[in-house]
Structure 1
Amino acid sequence: MQTYDIIIVGGGVMGSAIATYLLKSNLQLHILVVEKDPTYTYSSTVLSDGNIRVQFNIKENILMSLYGLEVLATFAEEMTTPAYTPNINFRQQGNLYIVDSEGEAFAKQGIALQQSLGGAVEWLEPGQIQQHHPLFQSANCVGATFGRRDGSMSPLDVLLAYRHKAIALGATYLTAEVGQLRHDHSQIIGIALTSGDILHAPIVINAAGAWAGKLSQTASVPLPVQPVKRQVYAVEVEGASF
């Protein structure tokens, strides 16, 4: 019978980060990470734009991002192993959010909250936008919010850094698909793979991302999580200096 202290369903950035920090707190833990796509070809982590920002109107989101910025400041040093040195290409170029008249009050409420929590966000008037970004036509906007510490990184390299660190600390990665969570009344007792194999653990962490809701339903636990398709556009501007 295959038994672990903790099974993590999902080996993307969230699952791999969880494994890393659990093992950093206790190296004696026997942790299994189950990931169905080991190349991460279809991973939400890798397909994301790899951006971090504090420009939210929800306190918890802002605090999480501020913590994320602290982690990224020493990420390479913390995640280096004897066999792997990460380079996540973190660049704090800032995020600019254009605001129209309908969104002005909401945006300024957000800035007040962000600044009160330590976020480096400022309001730019249309003339300031034009000064910094002369190619942008600001006629239809009332201003913009600019987070100067916001930035971008390589999501794949962040994921690989966590994965290498977790393995170096003792985590085991298994290429498989989880079919359902196994439970005895209200107690989780393990997982069942689509192959039919049963794995046991008193703690199962659902890090299945957009599919976390579908997985939790197998244990009759409703989660308001479902996949939503988003689009990211990259635009090349002739004559631009950025």
Structure 2
Amino acid sequence: MSSKVVIVGGGVIGSSVAYFLRASDPTVAVTVIERDTTYARSSSALSAASIRQQFSTPLSVQMSLYGIEFLRGIGDLLEVNGEKPCIDLHEGGYLFLATPPGESVLRENHAMQTRLGADISLLDEAALSARFPWLNTDDLAAGAYGNSGEGWFDGYGLVQALKKKAQALGARYVPAEVMGMELAGNRVTSVTTRAGERFDCDTVVNAAGPWARNIAVMMGIDMPVRARRRSIFNVSSPAVLNACPLLVDPTGVYFRPEGKTYICGTSPDPNNDPDDLPLDQVDHAIFDDVVWPVLANRVPGFKALRVENCWSGYYEYNVLDQNAIIGYHPQIDNCVFANGFSGHGLQQGPATGRGVSELILDGRYKTLDLSSLGWSRVIENRPIVEKNVV
């Protein structure tokens, strides 16, 4: 057991770890170092803030099944002084669409997801037309729709609720930027901030999001996590889309309701996706050239779209396989990494926080085994193939 834990990064992952550590063992001293106390540039605040079980890997499905359970109970779990947080969870479902070439993968994924307990329906073209009459289904073979357990929520609200509860349980949050680490052999003994503050530690957790690689370098480790910019567009339309889910087109373009408007976006071409692009710039070309044409084709009522707002945020993108890296590195005995979620951090945050706390306090996973997300696959170049990357 470690008596002093320093967590680098206070977003959803770091704050989830802090919460589970203090809730599990109040004797552990937890310090969270976060340089952006406004969370203005955090992935947690700038993402599309959604949750799904429609992955192609069983562990991701299981992590999000726990995630929705946690989000549903957040009012009681994270209550502080009688105040119950509200994150406006809307279980509007995901709808993954497939053309004939992709139908077999959709069916294979659906069988695995439902076997694990996910509430997903497989709809053929006729059922899609009947359920979503505003949808152009001419080129579609099938769709997989989340009846429950999938949807969207207030990501910023989740981070704030986790942070406040962790603080109420005794975790200390320090507004500072980590600039160095002192090592003795294979152990980190202290963490140093830009202001020169030094924090001794028995265990350190790298939860630095898009900047995780910078923290890893301080320990002599190179990790395949990069800051990749993703642009999100808030649009309005006169079209009325009843029972609109978060829809993922076969092209990868997605949209979902946001009040009376919609947010939408897509990932850029992998050959044109450089690191560390400035967040104060939005990729308007990807909307004009890719997103809008796809939306206008898939939903005829969207031909009259109007962009109301737009912004960019970072994915902490694992270039190996777009899955998280969770666990100890063989070079450092006392650093737990929780990085590279590639857009899944908010929904996988609760399962990650619980698992990392178990690893620190008990030396092993006790609930959900996250070991397949460890460093071994990275070091051995064995990527996990996730077919449902959004």
Tell me, yes or no, whether TM beats 0.5. Answer: yes
Alpha-carbon distance in structure 1 between the residues aligned to 2:127 and 2:236: 22
Report if aligned partners of 1:181, 1:216 keep a CA contact under 8 Å in 2.
Answer: no
Q: Which structure shows the higher strand fraction?
A: 2
Q: Over the residues paired in the alignment, what is the CA RMSD in angstroms?
A: 1.5
Report if aligned partners of 2:134, 2:241 keep a CA contact under 8 Å in 1.
Answer: no
Matches within 5 A, 1:97-136: 97-136=96-135
In structure 2, the residue matched to 1:216 is: 216
Alpha-carbon distance in structure 2 between the residues aligned to 1:135 and 1:236: 16
Counterpart residue type for residue 15 of structure 2: S
Counterpart residue type for residue 168 of structure 2: A
Alpha-carbon distance in structure 1 between the residues aligned to 2:67 and 2:101: 31
In structure 1, the residue matched to 2:71 is: 72
2:89 is aligned with 1:95:
no
- Per-residue CA distance 1:205-233 (angstroms, 9 max, x = gap): 11111221221121012322212222334
SS of the residue corresponding to residue 238 of structure 2 reads coil
In structure 2, the residue matched to 1:55 is: 54
Counterpart residue type for residue 236 of structure 1: S
- Per-residue CA distance 1:66-119 (angstroms, 9 max, x = gap): 111111221111100106420111111111111122222221111111011111
Residues 78 and 160 (structure 1), Cα distance of their counterparts in 2 relative to 1, 3 Å cut? same
In structure 2, the residue matched to 1:35 is: 34
Residues 44 and 191 (structure 1), Cα distance of their counterparts in 2 relative to 1, 3 Å cut? same
Give the fraction of aligned pairs with identical amino acids, expressed as a percent. 28
SS of the residue corresponding to residue 232 of structure 1 reads strand
Alpha-carbon distance in structure 2 between the residues aligned to 1:119 and 1:12: 27
Displacement of 1:234 in angstroms is 4.0
Report if aligned partners of 1:214, 1:226 keep a CA contact under 8 Å in 2.
Answer: no
Alpha-carbon distance in structure 1 between the residues aligned to 2:38 and 2:233: 24
In structure 2, the residue matched to 1:199 is: 199
Gaps of 5+ in 2: 243-390
SS of the residue corresponding to residue 230 of structure 1 reads strand
SS of the residue corresponding to residue 60 of structure 2 reads helix
Alpha-carbon distance in structure 2 between the residues aligned to 1:137 and 1:49: 24
Counterpart residue type for residue 73 of structure 1: R
Displacement of 1:124 in angstroms is 1.0
Alpha-carbon distance in structure 1 between the residues aligned to 2:92 and 2:164: 28
Report if aligned partners of 1:9, 1:34 keep a CA contact under 8 Å in 2.
Answer: yes
SS of the residue corresponding to residue 228 of structure 1 reads strand
Gaps of 5+ in 1: none
Alpha-carbon distance in structure 2 between the residues aligned to 1:89 and 1:41: 20
In structure 1, the residue matched to 2:21 is: 22
